């Protein structure tokens, strides 16, 4: 195979075999649904604020305190998704399975089965994932329904069931990004299976749909589709078609250099080496350090050699060797920097991770290491390891926050205890049992008197103040008449006394039923008031006791937490150090692979220089071609 064909094939396979992630941005969003409980809504808010650890903490606290009753299923589903995002697969699966009881509504069961299918797919258990999807009865919420059909297309494509995958794909709305990913995967699969025309059709459908969008994710997918279509045409020697597809890749996108290099080869094979050379030189003039730039240096020498310009070709090869040697020196410095522990700082600068008090930068500052690190960081394994590091840093930062909050909690608790102790004497006074017993005894005395008045029909006992004064005056008059009876004629006075005394008693006895009913009513009201007082006292005593228990509980929860948090911090820091070391080793190995590849290119360039100079020298000998 000629160097040109090898390069074309390499470029083609690089695009055709590039994996599109199973889930797009925002794939772990919780299910749509109405928020009916404050605790669930609070956790959901922190989730959408990109604070998953806080969301987990709020959900666990709400579960522990029984504050999730009406939306326990939604909360557990969200918690399972968060566990899944942290790589806690067994915990997530346990939560999901716990929701599959006989009382679960079908809508919740569908959502659980969908999430379990995702987990099984990610674990490589494709048959189990397909089985779970088949259990779904009815549609999921709109976004999840599109994701379900996307996952189904992936499973069907793996089983080489192209027609069924196409049917599943068409059930995804055309305005959904899941439709774009599904069509892209279908196109790549068909190209890999030798059905290039069908595959190109699906890829161009994705490209056309995302041609005018301003969404970065859709723009990148559109560029990837155009590049894949162009490289497929290049691989099949359809030079004009390749040029048409590749020219639509955005010039300011990350795939532009690869597209330019592929276009240059297409122009070269169409018999236009000048156009090819210009495009390759344009890549080099950008001054970037990506794979396409390194390949372009070699390609310039190849184009000139195939065009018969051997001296110029040798010059290009020599320049390529110098450039690649500089790249090797750069890579060596980057490896040294990583070995010295500079990688994490670079990740901070590039916004790959962030820590407390420092937000991720929106744009990485330029550095010599950045281009090579970006290449090394492209793998899914690296992104997974960085995610793990970020999660550990988030846990450490949360522990630090708690550590700083403990003294504040202790101060607040002391203040609450002092305030409670200050109010406690008044509470005890208002709920004093002896005072309540005295009131009950007074009530009993009053009830006995009421019973006596009724039994004896003692109307005089119910006289009002004026009537009582009048009766007392009449009693005094009666005593005076008795004293003067023998010395004076008091017949007229006695007659008036009897008349007035009789009228007053008649009024009292006539009004006795009404007054006695009113007295009984007062007794009933007194009983009701005493009962309410008993209940209030009991409630107040209970509230006081519960408040003291709450204070004691808070004190017990706070006591000793400093030591616990300090131990957890030490454990977390050890895990962070180990995770940083794992990332360093992963990047160093990727850089070493990059170095080996670059070194091979440099050796190839130097070999080509030597080979061409030998050929030129041979041609200059007598009898040689001049």
Segment 13-48, tens digit of pLDDT = 344 434 444 444 334 445 545 777 888 888 888 888
pTM given for the model:
0.70
Give me the chain's average pLDDT, please: 81
For residues 330 and 419, the model is more confident at 330
What ranges in 193-309 are assigned the alpha helix state H?
196-209, 216-235, 239-246, 256-269, 273-285, 291-306
pLDDT of residue 401: 81
Average pLDDT over residues 122-148: 88
Confidence of residue 362 (pLDDT cuts 50, 70, 90): very low
The pLDDT value given to residue 267: 95
Q: What is the pLDDT of residues 332-345, one digit of tens each?
A: 998 998 888 888 77
* Distance in angstroms (rounded) separating the CA atoms of residues 178 and 151: 9
Q: What are the tens digits of pLDDT across the range 234-251?
A: 999 999 999 999 999 998
Asked if residue 335 lies in contact with residue 592, where contact means CB atoms within 8 angstroms, the answer is: yes
Q: What percentage of residues in the chain have a pLDDT greater than 90?
A: 33
Euclidean distance between CA atoms 626 and 619, whole angstroms: 6
Average pLDDT over residues 145-172: 92
Do 233 and 245 meet the contact criterion of CB atoms below 8 Å apart? yes
Q: Is the pLDDT of residue 331 over 60?
A: yes
How far is Cα 619 from Cα 613, in angstroms, rounded to an integer? Answer: 10
pLDDT for res 356: 58
Query: What's the confidence (pLDDT) of residue 360?
Result: 41
DSSP alpha helix (H) spans, 340-432: 343-349, 370-376, 380-430
Give residue for tokens 């009916």. 36
Position 371 scores a pLDDT of 80
The predicted pLDDT at position 383 comes to 83
| pLDDT category of residue 53 using cuts at 50, 70 and 90 | confident
Q: Residue 616: is its pLDDT beyond 80?
A: yes
318-322, 373-377, 491-495, 565-569 — most confident range = 318-322
**What is the pLDDT at residue 315?**
95
pLDDT in tens, 403-461: 777 777 666 666 766 766 676 666 555 545 556 677 777 778 878 877 888 888 877 77
Contacts of 170 (CB under 8 A, 6+ apart): none
pLDDT for 536 equals: 67
Q: Give the residue with greater pLDDT, 569 vs 103.
A: 569
Structure tokens at 467: 């009537």
pLDDT in tens, 481-517: 777 776 776 677 777 777 777 777 787 778 778 887 8
Report the helix count and the strand count for the chain, using DSSP H and E: 24, 0
DSSP assignment string, 304-354 = HHHTT-HHHHHHHHHHHHHHHHHHHHHHHHHHHHHHTT-HHHHHHHTTS--
102-117 residue pLDDT tens: 677 888 888 899 999 9
In whole angstroms, give the CA distance from residue 521 to residue 506.
Answer: 24
Give dist(CA 407, CA 395) in Å, integer.
Answer: 20
**CA angle, corner 566, sides to 560 and 572, nearest 5?**
135
């Amino acid at each position: 195979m000629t160097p040109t064909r090898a390069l074309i094939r390499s470029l083609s396979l690089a695009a055709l075999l590039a994996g599109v992630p199973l889930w797009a941005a925002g794939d772990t969003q919780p299910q749509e649904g109405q928020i009916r409980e404050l605790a669930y809504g609070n956790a959901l808010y922190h989730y959408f604020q990109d604070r998953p650890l806080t969301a987990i903490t709020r959900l666990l606290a709400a579960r522990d305190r029984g504050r999730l009753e009406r939306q326990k299923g939604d909360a557990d589903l969200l918690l399972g998704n968060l566990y899944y995002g942290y790589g806690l697969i067994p915990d997530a699966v346990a939560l999901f399975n716990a929701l599959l009881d006989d009382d679960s509504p079908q809508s919740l069961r569908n959502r659980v089965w969908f999430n379990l299918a995702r987990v099984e797919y990610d674990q490589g258990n494709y048959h189990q994932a397909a089985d779970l999807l088949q259990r779904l009865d009815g549609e999921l919420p709109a976004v999840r329904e599109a994701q379900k059909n996307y996952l189904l297309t992936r499973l069907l494509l793996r089983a080489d069931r192209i027609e069924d995958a196409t049917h599943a794909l068409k059930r995804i709305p055309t305005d959904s990004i899941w439709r774009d990913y599904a069509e892209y995967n279908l196109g790549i699969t068909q190209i890999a299976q030798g059905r290039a025309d069908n595959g190109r059709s699906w890829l161009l459908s994705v490209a056309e749909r995302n041609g005018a969008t301003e969404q970065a994710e859709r723009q990148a997918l559109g560029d990837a589709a155009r590049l894949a279509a162009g490289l497929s045409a290049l691989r099949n020697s359809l030079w004009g078609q390749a040029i048409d597809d590749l020219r639509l890749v955005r010039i300011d996108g990350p795939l532009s250099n690869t597209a330019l290099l592929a276009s240059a080869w297409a122009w070269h094979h169409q018999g236009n080496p000048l156009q090819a050379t210009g495009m390759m030189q344009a890549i080099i003039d950008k001054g970037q350090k990506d794979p396409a730039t390194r390949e372009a240096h070699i390609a310039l020498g190849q184009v000139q050699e195939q065009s018969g310009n051997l001296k110029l070709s040798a010059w290009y090869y020599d320049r390529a060797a110098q450039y690649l040697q500089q790249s090797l020196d750069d890579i060596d410095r980057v490896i040294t920097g990583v070995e010295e522990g500079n990688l994490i700082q670079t990740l901070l600068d590039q916004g790959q991770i962030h820590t407390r008090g420092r937000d991720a930068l929106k744009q990485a500052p330029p550095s010599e290491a950045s281009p090579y690190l970006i290449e090394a960081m492209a793998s899914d394994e690296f992104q997974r390891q960085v995610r793990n590091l970020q999660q550990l840093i988030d846990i450490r930062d949360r522990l630090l926050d708690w550590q700083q909050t403990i003294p504040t909690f202790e101060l607040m608790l002391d203040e609450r205890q002092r305030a409670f102790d200050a109010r406690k004497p008044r509470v005890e006074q208002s709920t004093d049992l002896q005072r309540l017993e005295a009131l009950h005894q007074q009530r009993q005395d009053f009830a006995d008197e009421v019973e006596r008045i009724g039994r004896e029909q003692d109307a005089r006992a119910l006289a009002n103040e004026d009537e009582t004064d009048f009766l007392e005056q009449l009693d005094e008059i009666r005593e005076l008449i008795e004293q003067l009876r023998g010395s004076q004629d008091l017949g007229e006075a006695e007659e008036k006394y009897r008349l007035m005394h009789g009228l007053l008693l008649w009024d009292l006895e006539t009004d006795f039923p009404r007054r006695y009913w009113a007295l009984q009513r007062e007794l009933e009201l007194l009983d009701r008031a005493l009962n309410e007082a008993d209940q209030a006292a009991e409630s107040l005593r209970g509230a006081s006791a519960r408040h003291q228990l709450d204070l004691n509980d808070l004190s017990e929860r706070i006591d000793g937490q400093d030591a616990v948090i300090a131990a957890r911090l030490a454990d977390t820091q050890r895990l962070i150090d180990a995770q940083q070391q794992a990332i360093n080793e992963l990047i160093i190995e990727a850089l070493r692979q990059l170095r080996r590849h670059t070194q091979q290119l440099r050796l190839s360039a130097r070999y080509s220089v030597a080979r061409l100079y030998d050929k030129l020298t041979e041609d200059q000998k007598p009898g040689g071609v001049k």
